[in-house]
Amino acid sequence: MSRKNTKNAATVAVSTGSGVRKNGYSRRHSPVLFIFMLVLALYSIIPLLWLVLNATKSQGDILSTFGLGFGHKLNIVENLKATFTYEDGSFLRWLGNTVMYVVIGAGGATLLAALAGYGMAMFDFAGKQIVMAIIIGAIAIPGNALVVPTFLLFAKLGLTNTPLAVILPSLISPFGFYLVISYVQSGVPREVVESARVDGAGEVRIFFQIVLPLLMPCIVTVLLFAIVSTWNNYFLPLIMLNDPKWYPLTVGLAEWNAQATGSATPKPIYNLVIMGALVTVIPIIIIFLMLQRYWESGLSAGSVKQ
Amino acid sequence: MDANTSVVQSSRKFGKSSRSKNIQKAHKHRRNGLIGWAFITPFLIFFVIAIIMPIIYALYLSVFTDKLIGGRVFTGLSNYVAILTNGLFWDGLWRVIRVFLIQVPIMLGLALLAALAIDSARLVGRSAFRILLFLPYAVPGVVAVLIWEFLYGNQFGLTANINTLFGLSLQPLSKNMILWSIGNIMTWSFTGYNMLILYSGLKTIPTELYEAARLDGASEWQVAWHIKVPAIKGQLLISFMFSIIGTFQLFSEPQLLQTPAPNAISSSYTPNLWAYNLSLNGSQYNLAAALAIIMGLITGVLAFVTQNHGSKNID
Amino acid sequence: MKRTKVVRFVAGVAAIAMAAAGLAGCGGSSNSASGSNGGKEGDLDAALQKGGTITYWTWTDSAKAQAAAFEKKYPKVHIKVVNPGTGMTVYTKLQNVLKASSGIPDISQIEYQAIPQFSVPGNLLDLSQYGFAKYKNQFVKSAWEGVTSGSSIYGLPQDTGPMVMFYNKQVFDAAGITNPPKTWDEYMQDAKILHEKDSSVYITNDSGQGNFITSMLWQAGSHAYKVNGTNVEINLNDPGAMRWAKNWDYLFKNHYISSLTNQGTEWYQAANKGKIASVVSGSWMAGAFKSSVKETTGQWRVAPMPSYDGKPASANYGGSSEVVLKKSANPALAAAFLRWLNTSQESIDLFKQSGGYVSTKKELSSEEFLNEKSDYFGGQQINKVFLESGKDVVSGWQFLPYQAYANSITMDTVGKAYQGQTTFEKALKEYQKALVTYGNQQGYKVTGK
């Protein structure tokens, strides 16, 4: 217990005054390190650069000009317009669906994980160990393995091809559950909760007004990773949904891409696929960059070694 | 990619502390118990719907056989036998094992080096690198495959340019290379993510631990290898576990690359892809259910063993 | 005390679990038709008067315009047009909704090859009860054969995909070949000449596609599948199949054929750059050329598909019909819409305007249609070639009652021949084994020869 506290103290120190720590030591810069990181950075960035460049091209240019250069003309406005208006604006609909799945799925997952994690960490009750054991035992079976069985069950229940089929499985975030437990254990002093109780505050009020603010970095981290996994989800909606009107962006884009091939009147729309892909990526990157401070400290707190 | 590992660790920790607290607060037990249940019940309800019930339903389905002609009959364990004696299953399993044995170490090695680099004062532009490397994680798997599909074109794509430039004849979408092309997409997507997990561990190492070593004249590499790396074994374990799960459950990449590489990726290329094709294209839902259970067991056991073994080593 | 609570909790979970299993138990796989049988022709007009909503799955370009025209004519009927993807994606989804017994469309577009997969297990409505037999003579023979089985009628044809050879005349000319190959033997020779003249040029590309191989076997005179009810005999090594296998072995062994994926991103680039000299495909491919192979506009021509003995022979590749699902809540209305969709002049005109290749004899034989010149194809009257091909389709070919699935696993085995790891003969044999096993697992009586 005490060992852990010193570590947390260290975390806090680092995250508040980063850079101070190593000032005392070597200031020499290593070219080897720099080159290594540069190569890795290029590897990470080139495909994204390709995406941005090709989103500006017409289909003809995408198929005939050098991938990491510009096309003969800037087609970016046309592509953007075409992406959002193709087939009566399916893309906008998919964007809306994705946002809905993210808000309800990721938002709900975060709330449920926060409530349950807090309940597990702060209260002692009979059956706690068995609940924990069941949850752990079951979540050792990863999400993707459950997609087909979940589909079979939901088909039986008549839930397939409804938004619920995508939302329900997204509501469980084992990672979030774990992160909240460990954060509550180290970051929410029991005394604070106890004294609020003495003052006569109800449990619900204590949770929302006292605990939740304390949990903020952790909540943001859980939320972000739930957002990413919901936003990027492909297997689950692919198998659950038939009607394009419920598709998220991922499934819609994959279908657009596939329509270039096949024995039934191929209709390539690569310029829309690529522009659509870019539009899909941008919001997530923005969210990550904006909330960087939160999730980085949330992550380090969560992964404190026991 | 959902993170569900390392919970095992937390449960142990949790078990200990709750026992001691039980003694402390025995009198509040009953009231607390009700409130505790109230807090976890919403989670449990959805947990049962999304995880427990599908597992049970899959177990149920797996002991029957539905036919297009003839309906449903009880067939006991024969679906399991059919899967386990089918060469396609072992081929698919062997593919994900190869990815696991080769791609995962490469990815984690890069992630570890990158984490040490951005933790080192000797690197210029640390925060820029941190973000640049992390960006691919925000790219959905579908989009990642789409981009790489273009880059992999060996006649007109970037690969063609590389081949001309270096006099190579790489064919990323051919049968011999496709597995590594898939591995590359995974490496691209998750190196930065793993780097951050490892880096978050490095940040929690108390400075005193290695200041002393430095004063004793240890080189930066010695500090990294002998002090920093052992200190983040926990994070390495987490990353390793995520990777096991990610690899054994491989689906999106092969499923999407099947269109550009139809003769390199079979319908049973990975166990998950096979389960998908068995159930949705072949109407062999019962076989698919058995396959899902088998794969769930394999991944679960692997995750468990790694966790136990790993945390033993750490202690 | 603690233990009892635990027990109670476990019991609770178990109860929920039992409920899940219980759900599984009831229902089962009921194949009993909920749709009506024994309807009559008069039901259709009655249904149109009564009105209602019909869900229609299709990937046809003109579907929305057709639905709108229909709704205008019959204001009480609403047609919900859904585009669930094309080909295999749709069959996967149909399988999926049939499994779930919910979200089943009333009408769906289905390629001819996939009809048996849905009709044999009883998922399609037999339209003969509504007197659809009288439309037989409106459609070309191969299309009508595609939607019927004995006296049962499972759909109405929309378009056909008679196979032809699209070839880039300029590329052939550059290699000194003045006439497109008439026989496969000439084709093999031309493949060699073209590639030796310019190593970046290939006579064609093929990465393997289940339905393409099926059509190639068909044209070669194979009778690989003999289907009689639920009895199936498979022989993928019959003389016809071997003729095709021998040629493809030759092309792949000598690397005279490009391994580019059909209509993948690289294929479009290669075709635009004149690196692909010809494509043997269905008539519908003309549209893809016009829209996406623009840089070689005017260079392409259409010729009959090469044959084995110099006598014209072709097959259908793709081509689709619309069917009514048996579980439709309003089968009479669905059938009424289908009748209008594929037999009324108004609807057929809309389909034609969007570039579709119709399957009705009247349209196909109209002077206007046949004399139409295509600028893309250098002013050639391509419809004449398509029409001839349609007439030359080899008769007697049968699809498997699980053809859609068969096509989805073709490359698991035949792919090895495409990769040069085995011969096409051996690969087809292996494919046959997989098909026999699957068929028997599904309750058919399948034998392999």
pLDDT tens track, chain A, 306 positions? 333 333 333 333 333 333 344 444 455 788 889 999 999 999 999 999 999 999 999 988 888 888 899 999 999 999 999 999 998 899 999 999 999 999 999 999 999 999 999 999 988 888 888 888 888 776 666 777 788 889 989 988 889 889 999 999 999 987 788 888 888 888 888 888 889 989 988 898 999 999 999 988 889 888 988 998 899 999 999 999 988 999 999 999 999 998 887 656 788 899 999 999 999 999 999 988 888 877 777 666 555 432
Hey, are the CB atoms on C318 and A263 less than 8 Å from each other?
yes
Is B231 touching A (CB cutoff 8 A)?
Answer: yes
φ, ψ at C358 (rounded to 5°): -70, 170
Q: Tell me, what's the pLDDT at C447?
A: 96
CA pair distance A147, B291, nearest whole angstrom? 12
Q: Are strands C231-234 and C445-448 parallel, antiparallel or unpaired?
A: parallel
Give yes or no for residue B15 having a pLDDT over 50: no
Is A151 touching B (CB cutoff 8 A)?
Answer: yes
* Residues forming a β-bridge with C280: C165
φ, ψ at A87 (rounded to 5°): 45, 60
- Read off the tokens for B132: 């640049």
CA pair distance C259, C253, nearest whole angstrom? 12
Strand order in the sheet with C107-111: C77-82, C52-57, C107-111, C320-324, C156-157
Instruction: Spell out where C320-384 has E strands.
Output: 320-324
Cα→Cα distances B64→B50, B57, B58, B61, B77, Å: 22, 11, 10, 5, 9
The pLDDT-based confidence of B90 (bands split at 50, 70, 90) is very high
What size, in residues, is chain C? 449
Angle (nearest 5°) at CA A224 between A218 and A230: 135
Is B306 touching A (CB cutoff 8 A)?
Answer: no
What size, in residues, is chain A? 306
Chains contacting C (3+ CB pairs below 8 angstroms):
A, B
Chain A with chain B: Cβ pairs closer than 8 A: 364
Q: Tell me, what's the pLDDT at C96?
A: 83
Provide the 3-class DSSP secondary structure of residue A17: coil
> What is the residue whose two structure tokens read 């080192």?
B120
Residue of chain C with shortest Cα separation from B287: C441
Q: Tell me, what's the pLDDT at B7?
A: 37
CA pair distance C339, B112, nearest whole angstrom? 66
**Residues of chain C under the 70 pLDDT cut:** 1-38
> What is the residue whose two structure tokens read 């205008």?
C72
> What is the residue whose two structure tokens read 């430095």?
B214
3-state helix, strand, coil in chain C (%, to 5): 50, 15, 35
Give the mutation candidate from A141, A161, A281, A285 for the B interface (greatest B CB count, under 10 A): A141
Percentage of chain B beyond pLDDT 90 is 48
Hey, are the CB atoms on A148 and B289 less than 8 Å from each other?
yes
Distance from CA of A298 to the nearest CA of C (A): 33
User: Residues 6 or more apart from C270 whose CB is under 8 A from it?
Assistant: B155, B156, C205, C258, C260, C276
Residue of chain A with shortest Cα separation from B238: A303
Q: Tell me, what's the pLDDT at B214?
A: 82
Count Cβ atoms below 10 Å from residue A199 Cβ, excluding itself.
Answer: 8
Q: What is the ipTM of this complex?
A: 0.85
The pLDDT-based confidence of B212 (bands split at 50, 70, 90) is confident
User: Residues 6 or more apart from A151 whose CB is under 8 A from it?
Assistant: A160, A239, A240, B279
Distance from CA of A77 to the nearest CA of B (A): 21
Nearest to A261 among C1, C261, C294 (CB): C261
Nearest to C265 among B153, B263, B264 (CB): B153
Q: Tell me, what's the pLDDT at A124?
A: 86
Is B280 touching C (CB cutoff 8 A)?
Answer: yes
CA pair distance C241, C232, nearest whole angstrom? 17
Nearest to B151 among A28, A47, A296 (CB): A47
Radius of gyration of chain B measured on its C-alpha atoms: 24
CA pair distance C62, C358, nearest whole angstrom? 12
Q: Tell me, what's the pLDDT at A4?
A: 37
- Read off the tokens for C96: 């999926």
Give the mutation candidate from A93, A128, A164, A242 for the C interface (greatest C CB count, under 10 A): A242
For A234-248, B194-208, B228-242, B297-311, which range has the lowest pLDDT when averaged over its residues? Answer: B297-311
> What is the residue whose two structure tokens read 């309750």?
C443
Contact B247, C389 (CB under 8 A): no
Cβ neighbours of A267 in C, within 8 Å: 288, 291
Q: Tell me, what's the pLDDT at A264?
A: 61
CA pair distance B142, C163, nearest whole angstrom? 34
Q: Tell me, what's the pLDDT at B218?
A: 83
Q: Tell me, what's the pLDDT at A3?
A: 38
The pLDDT-based confidence of B222 (bands split at 50, 70, 90) is confident
CA pair distance C214, A227, nearest whole angstrom? 44
Contact C327, C124 (CB under 8 A): no
User: Residues 6 or more apart from A121 whose CB is under 8 A from it?
Assistant: A180, A181, A184, A185, A188, B14
